[in-house]
Structure 1
Amino acid sequence: MAVTTQQLIQWKQQARPIVVLTAWDYAIAQLLDASGVDVVLVGDSLGMVTLGYETTLPVTLEEMLHHAKAVRRGVQQALVVVDLPFLSYQESPQQAIHSAGRVLKETGAQAVKLEGGYPAMAETVGRLVKAGIPVLGHIGLTPQSVHQLGYRQQGKTADAGERILGEAIALEQAGAFGIVLEHIPASLAAQITQKLTIPTIGIGAGSDCDGQVLVTADVLGLSQRQPPFAKSYVNLREIITQAVTDFSGEVRERNFP
C-alpha cells in the first residue's frame, strides 16, 4: 500500500516515527523507496546538491518540475512531496495554487511543501487545501529566508518561541497535513509536537518530533559542507573518488579493459 497523508496523521497517533529523505533523481528515489522510506521530499536543496547554487533562492519552478518527474518515476510506495521554490507561491494565493497545481498535475507527486506560517502564508495554505492540494508546512529556520535569518537556530527567545508555536497552530488550522520544524530548540519542538494533532518532521529539532528528515546527500556523505545537525552514515565522496582514481589509473596504464 502506498503511503498517504492520512496515514502519516494516523502514525502520529500510534507514535510510529516517520522517515523522510530527499531525492533529486530517478536512481536515488528508487533506492530510497526500496529501503522503505515513508516520504520522499523533492527538496529545493537540490539547488545546492545537484545544480551547484550557493543557496536555494535561484531554483526555478521549471527545475523543480524536471527533477520531481524523475523522482516520481522511481517511487512506488512512499509519499512524494515537492518543495515550491522561492517566489513561486509568495506573491498571492492564486500564484501558489497555479504553481502547486502544476506540480501535482505534471509530476504525479501527491503534495507540496512551502515555507512560513505567518498570517498571509497560513491563508495561502488554507486556499491550497480547499483547492484539493495537500500541503506540508515548514517553519523555524526557513532556507528561502537566508538573507533575513541566515542559517542560525530560530526560536531561542521566549517571544520567538511563541511566534513559531503560533505559526504551527495556524498551519494546522489552515489544513496542513504535517509541519517540518527546522533548527529550533528541542524543547520548543517537543512543545509544538505535543500541541498539534498533525505530525511534526524535525531537522535539527531534537528527538521528540513525530519524524525526522535529512538531505540525502548529507546522509550519504556526498555534501562538501554538512549542517551541524546532519549525520553521515557513509562517505560516498571518498568511495567515488577512489573508484574513479582507480579506473583512471587502469586506463592510463592500459590495464583496462
Structure 2
Amino acid sequence: MSKQTQTRRKTVKDIASAKGGDPLVCLTAYDAPTASILDEHCDVLLVGDSVGMVVHGLDTPVGVTMEMMILHGQAVMRGSEQAFVVVDMPFGSYETNADTAFENAARIMKETGCQAVKLESGAYAAHQIAHLVERGVPVMGHVGLRPQAVNVTGGFKAQGRNSDERARVMEEAKAAEQAGAFAIVIEGVAEDLADEITRQVSCPTIGIGASASCDGQVLVLQDMLGYFDWTPKFVRTYHDMRTEIGKAAQSYAADVRARRFPGEAETYKLRKQ
C-alpha cells in the first residue's frame, strides 16, 4: 500500500480535541483479528490489563506482567490501522518512581508502536504522569475504581460514594489533568461525581460504570459480548457469544463423532497427472 492511500491513525490531538464533542468510542482489544474487526468502529482501542482476567484467567490484574502487555499490544497494533491504541502499564511498573515509570513506558511504546500508555492515577501518580509527558509519552489517567488497587480496597467496589471518597477521586482527577494527562478514564463512580469531574477537567473523560455525560465510553469487549455468566452492573451485553460459541462447538463435536467431518468439501484428493 502506498503512503498516499494508507489510512491515517488517530493521534493524541484527535482524542484530546474530542472534549465536549461527539462521544469517543472505546473498547478493549488483545489480539490482531479482534483489533481488525473493531478498528473501523472505535476511536480508541485499549489494551487493558483486564487481559489478565478475561484472557489468562487471573482473579485480578495484579499478576499481569510487562511482557504480557507488550505481547498483546503488538498484536493489536498489527491488527488495527486507524484507531488510537493505548496500552495499560501493569501493576508495579510505574509506582516506585518517575524514572522507572519512564523506562517502562518507553519500552512499551518502542516495542509495541502504540500511541499512549494508561496508568491508574492514585495520589502518587501526578508526578509520574508529568515526568512521562515531559519526556514525550502521552498518558491516559484512570480514577475511581482502580482494579490494580483491589488488595487495598477489598475488591472491585464502586468508589466516590461518600464525601471523603468523592473528594479523593476528584482530587486525583484534577491532579492527573494538571500533570498533563490527555484523557482520563473514570471507572465505577456515582453518576453525579462523574458528571462533576467531566465538567471540571479540561481533558476528555471516558466512562466505564460512570455517566453517559462523559466524553466517551469504554467496555471490556468480552463483557459486552456475553462471554461470562456474570458481568458488572455497568455492562450492557450486546450479544450472547458464550452460547453461540458453545453451539458451534457442540455441532462440531457431533459431526466429528458421527464422522460427518471432514466431508467431501474439506478433504484433499489426489490430482490427476
Size of the alignment, in residue pairs? 254
| Kept after mapping to 1: 8 A contact 2:121/2:173 | no
AA aligned opposite 1:3: K
CA shift at 1:117, angstroms? 3.5
The normalised TM-score by structure 1 is 0.97
| Kept after mapping to 2: 8 A contact 1:182/1:202 | yes
CA shift at 1:8, angstroms? 1.7
Q: Does 1:2 align with 2:35?
A: no
SS of equivalent to 1:11 = coil
| Kept after mapping to 2: 8 A contact 1:117/1:168 | no
Q: Does 1:20 align with 2:26?
A: yes
Query: Which stretches in structure 2 are left out of the alignment for 5+ residues?
Result: 1-7, 264-273
C-alpha distance in structure 2 between counterparts of 1:107 and 1:209, whole Å: 28
CA shift at 1:59, angstroms? 0.6
Runs of 4+ in 1 over 3 A off after TM superposition: none
CA shift at 1:243, angstroms? 0.5
Aligned to 1:153: 158
- Which whole-Å deviations, capped at 9, do the CAs of 1:151-179 have from their partners, x for residues lacking one? 11100112211121111111111000000
Q: Does 1:202 align with 2:202?
A: no
C-alpha distance in structure 2 between counterparts of 1:79 and 1:101, whole Å: 17
- State the Cα RMSD in Å: 1.0
SS of equivalent to 1:194 = helix
Query: Which stretches in structure 1 are left out of the alignment for 5+ residues?
Result: none
AA aligned opposite 1:99: N
CA shift at 1:147, angstroms? 1.0
C-alpha distance in structure 1 between counterparts of 2:38 and 2:197, whole Å: 28
| Kept after mapping to 1: 8 A contact 2:160/2:190 | yes
AA aligned opposite 1:252: R
CA shift at 1:196, angstroms? 1.1
Q: Does 1:104 align with 2:102?
A: no
Of residues 116, 133, 140 in structure 2, which corresponds to 1:136?
140
The normalised TM-score by structure 2 is 0.91
C-alpha distance in structure 1 between counterparts of 2:228 and 2:214, whole Å: 25
C-alpha distance in structure 2 between counterparts of 1:244 and 1:112, whole Å: 37
Identity value in percent: 46
Q: Does 1:80 align with 2:85?
A: yes
Which region of structure 1 is more displaced relative to structure 2, 3-12 or 17-26? 3-12
AA aligned opposite 1:143: P
CA shift at 1:70, angstroms? 0.5
| Kept after mapping to 2: 8 A contact 1:9/1:197 | no
SS of equivalent to 1:82 = strand
AA aligned opposite 2:32: Y
**Structure showing greater Rg:** 2
Matches within 5 A, 1:149-228: 149=153, 150-228=155-233
